[in-house]
Amino acid sequence: MRKLFLMTIIMSMALVALVAFADEHPEAAETTAVPETITIDACADTKAAVEFPHKAHFEFAACVDCHHTNEGLTAETAAEMEVATCSSCHLDPEEAETPSCKEKSSKKNPYHINCIGCHKDYIKEHADSSAPKKCSACHPKPAE
């Protein structure tokens, strides 16, 4: 009986500690609905697909910076929303003014526009950054 009572006390204390941690660190639960990495391959025809470190970008950009059609998207709301992928709009755009990911130009491809622009701005402020600076950093050449 004494062991059961002691186990109940320990389990109760562990539960209280877990709840307290969750209250003080909501970001620990917030990001579980979003992938660690994603493979951007919908438009990969001449260059290798990009392995994008999705969660690593949370400290640099808001979700809606990239997912601009998902108003109110945050790490907290991601599990409750249908999140549009970039290619859902940019692979075969319905509107002529919507950039297509089939374009290769850094001024016409939506990934290049957004990613390169953001990386250049970041590198200006953080010269020692390891952010990709060359095409091959995101599009590695296939192993021969």
Under DSSP, the state recorded for 32 is G
7 vs 115: CA distance, rounded Å: 52
DSSP-based three-state secondary structure for 122? helix
Q: pLDDT tens digits, residue range 82-95? A: 988 888 889 899 99
Report if pTM > 0.85.
no
Q: pLDDT tens digits, residue range 65-83? A: 999 999 999 988 988 989 8
Q: pLDDT tens digits, residue range 121-134? A: 999 999 898 888 88
* Superfamily in which the 35-138 domain is placed by CATH: Cytochrome C3 (3.90.10.10)
Under DSSP, the state recorded for 40 is E
138 closest CA partner among 24, 10, 65, 118: 118
- pLDDT at residue 21, as a whole number: 46
- pLDDT at residue 124, as a whole number: 92
